Amino acid sequence: MSAPRLSFIVPVHNTAPWLERCLGSLLQNDFADLEVVAIDDGSTDGSLDILLRWAAKDSRLKVQQHASQQGLGRTRNTGLQAAAGETIGFVDSDDWIDIRVYRNLHERMTDTGADMGACSVRLEDPNGKRTGAWRMPDQLIPLDSVENVQAAYRILHDSCANKLFRRELLADLEFPRIYYEDGPFVIEAFCRAKSIVFVPDEGYYYITRPRSIMQSAPDSARIQSAVESMALAWESLSRRGIANWVRGRYDIRVRWLLRLAVVGLVGLEPETRNKLWREVQTLVPPVWDDIMPFRAWERKLYLALLRRPSPAPLARALKITVDTAATLAKWVTHVRCPFIKESS
């Protein structure tokens, strides 16, 4: 039996209320040359039962299971090991897609020989109300010059949502076992690619849920992961020799992760806040030169603020002040960054 043309990897952890919609968007079509690999990551809410019921009706759905929760990175890696398609995509189990757009994107990749592809994303709240979008152009960009790499990187969102990857591009590539694991994975794939094609149609429907946002409240693991994620991404760009080409855009990612690690501390109770702030002060400065491509005056300012006894001055310098958990949730919803939704 020949390999399917397209595999979607769907990590699942306690998303039963949204899972049927996700599976329906993937499987309620006549796309025979399709495979969906769903990995239940120790769910306790009946998600596995839903997966098994759908798999009994549709042989295109392959179900694997972790006996206990392993986290999003490990779960996606399980899917990568199991997927057989010539092209790989990723869908969060509380999101959904327009399979017609992905079929078109896959055809564009086939026609152009592109290693990666990306479609536009519709951002929605849990009630289906449109809150924004990530807009992609209609463009093939060969990554063969400084100008083209810069142009593609400006468009690229370093999230797995909305992308397809040629299988050969992902050989021996795994997600790091940290929070914010999308960025290093996507950036390393981008560094390996020879070309990337974009289509303007909205194919991925990205849902922001308040509970997922609040799961991203700062803690030791998230702070350390933010720093590791920045360092891994910069390492890939440096190894490829394009780090200096994309400093301006990488700056945006660094600011986001630095904010996520720092800003939420302001609203925590003092003992927890002070403990986590000391961890930020310990973790960030030693790798500052490796992960912070800001202008010289800005680097000096942030380093000085990192030495202050409270995170509040740095939070203000990052242009956001958070006093309560509710304010944090409102801010994260406003900026609509993909890193907030992981449940691992």
What DSSP letter does each residue of 100-165 carry, written as one string? HHHHHHHHHHHHHT-SEEEEEEEEE-TTS-EEEEE---SEEEE--SHHHHHHHHHH--SSSTTEEE
Do the beta carbons of residue 182 and residue 206 sit within 8 Å? no
- Looking at residue 216, its pLDDT comes to 53
Do 192 and 227 sit in the same domain of this protein? no
- Looking at residue 328, its pLDDT comes to 45
Q: Where among 207, 227, 262 does a domain terminate?
A: 207
* CB burial of residue 84 (10 Å; 0-12, 13-18, 19+): middle
Q: In angstroms, rounded to a whole number, what is the distance separating the alpha carbons of residues 285 and 46?
A: 44
The answer to the question of residue 254 being in a domain is yes
For 75, half-sphere exposure in the C-beta direction (CA atoms, 13 angstrom radius) is 31
Q: Which of 213, 244, 245 is nearest to 336 (CA)?
A: 213
Residues 6+ apart with CB under 8 A from 213: 328, 329, 332, 333, 340, 341
Do 232 and 168 sit in the same domain of this protein? no
Q: Which of 217, 10, 210 is nearest to 95 (CA)?
A: 10
Do 203 and 216 sit in the same domain of this protein? no
Do 113 and 62 sit in the same domain of this protein? yes
Do 98 and 201 sit in the same domain of this protein? yes
Do 175 and 34 sit in the same domain of this protein? yes
Do 177 and 222 sit in the same domain of this protein? no
CA dihedral 38, 42, 46, 49 (to 10 degrees): 50
Do 178 and 243 sit in the same domain of this protein? no
Please count the structural domains in the chain.
2
Range of the domain at 297: 212-341
Do 228 and 274 sit in the same domain of this protein? yes
Amino acid, res. 127 = N
User: pTM (2 decimals)?
Assistant: 0.86
Do 133 and 154 sit in the same domain of this protein? yes
- Looking at residue 333, its pLDDT comes to 44
Tokens for 260, please give them: 């996520």
Do 187 and 282 sit in the same domain of this protein? no
The answer to the question of residue 1 being in a domain is no
Do 50 and 187 sit in the same domain of this protein? yes
Average pLDDT per 10 consecutive residues for the chain, totaling 344 residues:
86 96 95 95 96 97 95 95 96 96 96 98 89 93 96 91 96 92 94 97 86 55 83 89 84 72 72 86 75 69 83 72 46 43 44
- Looking at residue 261, its pLDDT comes to 67
Q: In angstroms, rounded to a whole number, what is the distance separating the alpha carbons of residues 249 and 149?
A: 11
